[in-house]
Amino acid sequence: MIVIESVAEMQQFARQRRGEIALVPTMGYLHEGHASLMVEARKRARTVVVSIFVNPTQFGVNEDLDSYPRDFERDRKVAAAAGVDVIFAPKAADMYPAGYQSYLNVEGLTTELCGASRPGHFRGVTTVVAKLFNIVMPAVAIFGKKDFQQLAVIRRMVRDFNFDVDIVGMPIVREADGLALSSRNARLTAEQREPALCLSRAIAAARDAFRAGEKSVAVLREKALAPIERESVAQLDYLEFRDQDTLLPLQTADERTLLALAVRVGSVRLIDNTVLGEE
Euclidean distance between CA atoms 196 and 206, whole angstroms: 17
Looking at the Cβ atoms of 61 and 98, the one nearer to ligand BAL is: 61
- Contact set for ligand ATP, span 158-217 (CB under 6 A): 170, 172-173, 180-184
R_g (Cα) of the chain, nearest Å = 19
Among 259, 16, 6, 255, smallest CA distance to 137 is for 16
- Contact set for ligand PAF, span 115-144 (CB under 6 A): 125, 128-129
CB neighbour list of residue 247: distance below 8 Å, 6 or more residues apart: 109, 112, 113, 149, 152, 258
- Is 183 annotated among the ligand-binding residues? yes
Euclidean distance between CA atoms 50 and 77, whole angstroms: 12
Among 34, 42, 131, 207, binds ligand ATP (CB under 6 A): 34
Looking at the Cβ atoms of 124 and 217, the one nearer to ligand BAL is: 124
Binding mask 215-254 for ligand ATP (x = CB under 6 A): ----------------------------------------
Binding mask 23-42 for ligand BAL (x = CB under 6 A): ----x---------------
Interior angle at CA 138, CA 271 and CA 75, nearest 5: 55
273 binds ligand BAL (CB under 6 A): no
Residue 242: name its binding partner from ligand BAL, ligand ATP, ligand PAF, none (Cβ under 5 to 8 Å by kind). none
**Smallest distance from ligand PAF to CB 25, Å:** 4
Q: Phi then psi for 155, rounded to 5 degrees?
A: -60, -40
Euclidean distance between CA atoms 35 and 82, whole angstroms: 6
**Smallest distance from ligand BAL to CB 201, Å:** 22
Among 198, 188, 138, 193, smallest CA distance to 168 is for 138
Looking at the Cβ atoms of 114 and 276, the one nearer to ligand PAF is: 114
- What's the gap between Cα 4 and its chain centre? 23
Euclidean distance between CA atoms 102 and 219, whole angstroms: 44
For 43, which DSSP code?
H
Euclidean distance between CA atoms 49 and 16, whole angstroms: 14
Looking at the Cβ atoms of 14 and 141, the one nearer to ligand PAF is: 141
Q: Which helix (H) or strand (E) holds 264?
A: strand 257-265
Euclidean distance between CA atoms 257 and 151, whole angstroms: 16
133 binds ligand ATP (CB under 6 A): no
- Is 137 annotated among the ligand-binding residues? no
Catalytic residue of the set 17, 21, 34, 135: 34
Count of chain residues binding ligand ATP (CB under 6 A): 18
**Smallest distance from ligand ATP to CB 154, Å:** 9
Looking at the Cβ atoms of 13 and 53, the one nearer to ligand BAL is: 53
- Is 244 annotated among the ligand-binding residues? no
The amino acid occupying position 140 is: V
58 binds ligand BAL (CB under 6 A): yes
Please give the annotated binding residues for ATP, written as ranges.
27-34, 144-147, 173, 181-184
* Contact footprint for ligand PAF (CB under 6 A): 25-27, 55, 58, 125, 128-129, 147, 150
Residues assigned a catalytic role: 34
